[in-house]
Structure 1
Amino acid sequence: MKSAQDGYCFSFPAVRGIQAGKPFYIATCPLSTIPKIFVFDEDEVPPELRAQRTLNKARIPEMVRYLVDNPDDYVFSALTVSVASSVSFDESEHSESSNLGTLRIPMNAQILINDGQHRRAAIEAALKERPELAYDNIPVLFFVDEGLTRSQQMFADLNKYAVKPSPSLAALYDSRDESSELARYLAQKVKPFAGFTEMEKSSISSKSGKLFTLSSLKQANRALFGKGMKDCFTEQEKELAAEFWQAVYESTPEWQMVINKQLAPSQFRQEYVHAHGVGLHALGSLGCALITAQPDEWKETIKKLINVDWKKSNPIWANRSMLHGKLSKASTNIMLTTNALKHALSLSLTPDERTLENQYIPNSEASNG
């Protein structure tokens, strides 16, 4: 690990490549070395003098938990770093390719992370809980730095076209999240979701034959059981969810009309509140209150939904589901929509719900429910 030119150095088996006429290097590094070698700019440095965003510490615990809980089944993508120093690359004598060899970086060189500073922080914290992760590896993409301006441009370029998957697509592919698993099950097995759930996108086009998005179904189930983002679902809860949504379906004529091809999905979405996420989420919240209050009678009470006028033109939805003629999925509007449904089923409002009702709908009958 010593170079005649630069003294002691870090050595990495690496592959050399060319991009935009400049060399770059790909190496695999033990996780144990990541916190020691790679640094990121301190928070107090002004943004114009940094090469990347400040560390969002709120993101770290979830990433740490992912590593710690899945030591045999995790995936971390490569770190991208800039080396603020000259480097040397010794071609391997045992390879026919001149691009295989050893990358040598002076130990006093500053190596800044252009992409992956949150992964680096999560690795450092996870190693404290699971030291055995130290022997795992992560790929690292090395660029030779050409100054702050170049590093800032690299950060901008790396993030310019980065697009997170839609919440629905994330729920479709996430086999670890039980709320996603429950949503996928209902989307495949239970009316009105089977065959009418948009599994990839988080919005539905006007001409689509789908009714709900997978992400809105996932949120509605969390509301049904009062669950947080990462809470687990028991088998009994999964069965109850299927029973609840089936009962709602049987008490909702418009859903039945769509399933029986008596009402076009596009017309349904255009005219009715319960064709959208705000209605579905409110129904989940209603179910939570109803099943808690009437664990043995809720199936009979839910039949009163048949009397609800879900048309957007119904004045009851003004300032609840509808704001200035448009649907709103804000938490306040979901709660106000739930209030109207609770009133329809003769369920009492909680003090917080009554306060919200009086604040936004002063003359509503539901405020006295």
Structure 2
Amino acid sequence: MSLAFEYIFPAIRGIQAGREYFVSMCPLRLIPRIFLFDEEELMPEFRAQRILNRARVPEIARYMLNNQRGYVFSAITASVDGGVRFTPLGAEGEANRLGALHVDMSARFIINDGQHRRAAIEQALVSAPDLGDETIAVVFFIDRGLERSQQMFSDLNRHAVRPSRSLGLLYDHRNDLSKIAKLVALKSMAFKDLVEMERSTLSERSRKLFTLSAIYTACSVLLESSEYSDVEHASRVCVDFWEEIARHIPEWNLVRASRMTAGEVRRDFLHSHAIALQAFGIVGRDILLTDSANWKERLSALGAIDWSKSHAQVWEGRALIGGRVSKSSNNVTLTANFIKVNVGLELGPEELRIEQLFLRGRTNQIEMQDD
């Protein structure tokens, strides 16, 4: 007996763990209408997924709107709680797997994976209703009960591994700054053969000194945002800057020449860590803005700085906390402050305030030790 009122989806039938599931294509305009997400006021034990993070939705919607000829969304996974029947095209072979999925209109569709995509699609359709005719893949699981939906959410997310920031940047061809960072990593003699392009952390045995994500962050603070659009010009600025920095840090070249290991340099010196690269970028931006004619001469003072982590009198509390490198914004500012003073730059009001608080805290600590 056919259902009087129903949704009909073209579908492919499959089997996982002895259960039927169905893969279909759904017009975007239907996504907000039929797929529900749990109300936020429900307690976690009565929901089938996490609370919607509304701060993420506009970003995903902008991605979709800004890339209407190139956006990519993976499939939405949903549970169907209600009357369902599948009518295959035929009785045997492939025809038995292809057909139409009939779902009672009174059934509930609960998203197990993709609730932020669903909300972003709804938001994007307000500005670009023509996108409603495009489609997204949907995987339907037949489920009658909250417990199964909760278990599906757990299983779907248990083994999900977010790609490292470096790998995301390596494969990002839309972001001009990521293009710049990749060009710098590949073309600059300062970084040649020393950059880990896929991982955002370095093991003790890694032969690399830097990560692509650290170079990306350093270049982002070195450049004015207006420079990003001219990728070739911006990459040349960055290459020149980092090669000048490298002239005053001999350990980088010693690693390239296999006279020191990358592990030894990272263990003993601060200058190859992300905090130092970001601080160099901050200093470079100010030098290029205030003294572009003499910026190379200014940077020559870097050679006189003792970058050893053992030089606790300078680095403890500034770039190190308990002997370990700290990447907090406050420590980045304090590290940049020290470099600025050494290259003859004045500190800005906020930098000066942070420096004074740091020095006051250090003085109080010394006085307490003396007592």
| 1:203 corresponds to 2:205 | no
TM-score, normalised to structure 2's length? Answer: 0.93
1:27 counterpart SS class: strand
| 1:313 corresponds to 2:310 | yes
Residues 62-85 of structure 1, C-alpha deviations (whole Å, 9 max, x = no match): 111111111121210000001111
Unaligned runs of 5+ in 2: 364-371
Alpha-carbon distance in structure 1 between the residues aligned to 2:35 and 2:195: 44
Alpha-carbon distance in structure 2 between the residues aligned to 1:245 and 1:149: 55
Alpha-carbon distance in structure 1 between the residues aligned to 2:66 and 2:228: 15
The residue aligned with 1:27 is 24
Alignment of 1:1-369 (within 5 A): 4-93=1-90, 96=93, 97-225=95-223, 227=225, 232=229, 234-314=231-311, 315-362=313-360
The residue aligned with 2:368 is none
Q: 1:146, CA displacement in angstroms?
A: 2.4
Alpha-carbon distance in structure 2 between the residues aligned to 1:110 and 1:231: 47
Alpha-carbon distance in structure 2 between the residues aligned to 1:215 and 1:360: 28
2:40 counterpart SS class: coil
Q: 1:233, CA displacement in angstroms?
A: 5.4
Between the aligned residues of both structures, percent identity stands at: 41
- Give the AA of the match of 2:42: V
1:28 counterpart SS class: strand
* 8 Å Cα contact 2:181-2:235 kept in structure 1: no
Deviates further, 78-87 or 258-267: 258-267
Q: 1:272, CA displacement in angstroms?
A: 0.4
Q: 1:278, CA displacement in angstroms?
A: 1.1
Alpha-carbon distance in structure 2 between the residues aligned to 1:95 and 1:280: 63
Alpha-carbon distance in structure 2 between the residues aligned to 1:43 and 1:295: 54
- RMSD over aligned Cα atoms: 2.0
1:35 counterpart SS class: helix
* 8 Å Cα contact 2:10-2:24 kept in structure 1: yes
In 2 relative to 1, CA 312–226 (structure 1 residues): closer, same or farther, beyond 3 Å?
Answer: farther
* Residues matched between the structures, number: 361
- Give the AA of the match of 1:19: Q
Q: 1:237, CA displacement in angstroms?
A: 2.5
In 2 relative to 1, CA 231–240 (structure 1 residues): closer, same or farther, beyond 3 Å?
Answer: closer
* 8 Å Cα contact 1:183-1:214 kept in structure 2: yes
1:112 counterpart SS class: strand
- Give the AA of the match of 1:261: S
2:87 counterpart SS class: strand
2:293 counterpart SS class: coil
Q: 1:245, CA displacement in angstroms?
A: 0.8
In 2 relative to 1, CA 6–363 (structure 1 residues): closer, same or farther, beyond 3 Å?
Answer: closer
- Give the AA of the match of 2:257: N
* 8 Å Cα contact 1:68-1:130 kept in structure 2: yes
In 2 relative to 1, CA 293–32 (structure 1 residues): closer, same or farther, beyond 3 Å?
Answer: same
* 8 Å Cα contact 1:86-1:144 kept in structure 2: no
